[in-house]
């Protein structure tokens, strides 16, 4: 042994030390295209529709009155008196006729074919065709894994 306490037969061999480093880069591997398709199909609807019409009935009255009667409601019928002045030695009001208006409701079935539309999305993936792809943030070509 020498003065340093080492054996002369011991030889120190320097070793290499490996270090890992991580580099991140953006690589475009393909494109996605989304399109929509509108499909139409017929559907039968069957609904009950309500329809209203009026019936007019004219009834002769020929009755002498002192004042014109008011329009009145009798159940589902509106009664509208029609007056006429006639000339005699005296003037009198006479109800000439009444017009009766009655509302009548009826139901009928209605069928109709209607066309309805529905959209569907179709997604198509296209691989990158060239090895250099434009980076949309910098507008510079970026190398992909194929070049490295």
pLDDT digits (tens, 9 = 90+) for 130-145: 544 454 444 444 444 4
* CB burial readout 18-57, b (16+ within 10 A) else e: eeeeeeeeeeeeeeeeeeeeeeeeeeeeeeeeeeeeeeee
More confident residue, 75 or 133: 75
- Verdict on whether the full-model pTM lies above 0.75: no
Instruction: Indicate the pLDDT class of residue 72, thresholds 50, 70 and 90.
Output: very high
Question: If you average pLDDT over each of 86-90, 107-111, 140-144, which comes out highest?
Answer: 107-111
Residues near 55 by beta carbon (within 8 Å), at least 6 away in sequence: 101, 102, 104
The phi and psi torsions of 48 (rounded to 5 degrees) equal -95, 125
What is the C-alpha separation between 39 and 113, in angstroms, rounded? 16
State pLDDT tens for residues 4-16: 566 667 777 777 7
pLDDT at 89 over 50: yes
Q: Are strands 72-74 and 77-87 parallel, antiparallel or unpaired?
A: antiparallel
**Which of the pair, 90 or 44, is modelled with greater confidence?**
44
């Amino acid at each position: 042994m020498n003065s340093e306490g080492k054996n002369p037969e011991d030889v120190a061999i320097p070793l290499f030390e490996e270090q890992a480093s991580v580099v991140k880069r953006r690589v475009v591997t393909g494109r996605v295209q989304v399109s929509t398709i509108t499909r139409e199909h017929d559907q039968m609807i069957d609904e009950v529709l309500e329809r209203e019409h009026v019936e007019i009935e004219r009834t002769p009255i020929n009755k002498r009155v002192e004042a014109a009667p008011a329009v009145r409601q009798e159940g589902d019928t509106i009664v509208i008196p029609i007056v006429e002045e006639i000339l005699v030695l005296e003037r009198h009001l006479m109800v000439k006729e009444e017009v009766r208006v009655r509302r009548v409701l009826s139901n009928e079935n209605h069928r109709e074919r209607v066309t309805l539309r529905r959209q569907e999305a179709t997604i198509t993936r296209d691989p990158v065709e060239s090895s250099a792809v434009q980076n949309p943030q910098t507008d510079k070509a970026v190398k992909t894994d194929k070049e490295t």
